[in-house]
Amino acid sequence: MSDIILETKGLTKHYGGVHALEDADFVLKNGEHVAIMGDNGAGKSTFVRQITGVEQRTRGTVTFDGNDVNFAGPLDAREAGIETVFQTLALADDLNVPDNLFLGREKTKFNFLGPFRVLDYKAMREDTMAGLEKTGVKIPNIRNTIANMSGGQRQCVAIARTATFASKLTIMDEPTAALGVQETEQVENIIRTLKKQGESLILVSHNMRQVFDLVDRIIVFRRGRIVANLNKDETDGQDVVAYITGAKTGAEYEGAA
Angle among Cα 166, 167, 168 to the nearest 5 degrees reads 135
In this chain, which residue has its C-beta nearest to Mg ion?
Answer: 45
Nearest approach, Cβ of residue 47 and Mg ion (Å):
9
- Judged by beta carbon, residue 132 or residue 202, the one nearer Mg ion is 202
- Judged by beta carbon, residue 7 or residue 174, the one nearer Mg ion is 174
Residue 4, strand partner residues: 29
Binding mask 44-83 for ligand ADP (x = CB under 6 A): xxx-------------------------------------
Nearest approach, Cβ of residue 23 and ligand ADP (Å):
14
Helices 181-196 and 121-135 meet at what angle, rounded to 10?
Answer: 100
Q: Which stretch binds ligand ADP (CB under 6 A): 33-41, 64-72, 145-153, 191-199?
A: 33-41
- Answer yes or no whether residue 45 interacts with Mg ion by CB under 5 A: yes
Residue 222, strand partner residues: 225
- How many chain residues touch Mg ion (CB under 5 A)? 3
Contact indicator for 104, 78 with CB cutoff of 8 Å: yes
- Answer yes or no whether residue 184 interacts with Mg ion by CB under 5 A: no
Residue 174 CA to residue 188 CA, distance in Å, equals 12
- Answer yes or no whether residue 18 interacts with ligand ADP by CB under 6 A: yes
Nearest approach, Cβ of residue 226 and ligand ADP (Å):
12
- Residue of 15, 110, 148, 237 that binds ligand ADP (CB under 6 A): 15
Contacts within 8 Å (CB) and 24+ apart, 98-106 = 98/124, 98/125, 98/127, 98/128, 98/142, 98/143, 99/124, 100/146, 100/157, 100/161, 101/127, 101/128, 101/131, 101/157, 101/160, 101/161, 101/164, 102/127, 102/128, 104/75, 104/78, 105/78, 105/79, 105/165
Nearest approach, Cβ of residue 30 and ligand ADP (Å):
26
- Residue of 9, 25, 41, 95 that binds ligand ADP (CB under 6 A): 41
Question: Which of 54, 62, 109 has its CA nearest to residue 84?
Answer: 54
- Residue of 42, 179, 187, 230 that binds ligand ADP (CB under 6 A): 42
Contact indicator for 229, 254 with CB cutoff of 8 Å: yes
- Judged by beta carbon, residue 97 or residue 171, the one nearer ligand ADP is 171
- Residue of 5, 20, 194, 220 that binds ligand ADP (CB under 6 A): 20
CA count, 13 A, side-chain hemisphere, 71: 21
- Judged by beta carbon, residue 4 or residue 37, the one nearer ligand ADP is 37
How many other CB atoms are found less than 10 A from the CB of residue 89? Answer: 16
- Judged by beta carbon, residue 47 or residue 71, the one nearer ligand ADP is 47
List residues binding ligand ADP (CB under 6 A).
Answer: 15, 18, 20, 38, 40-46
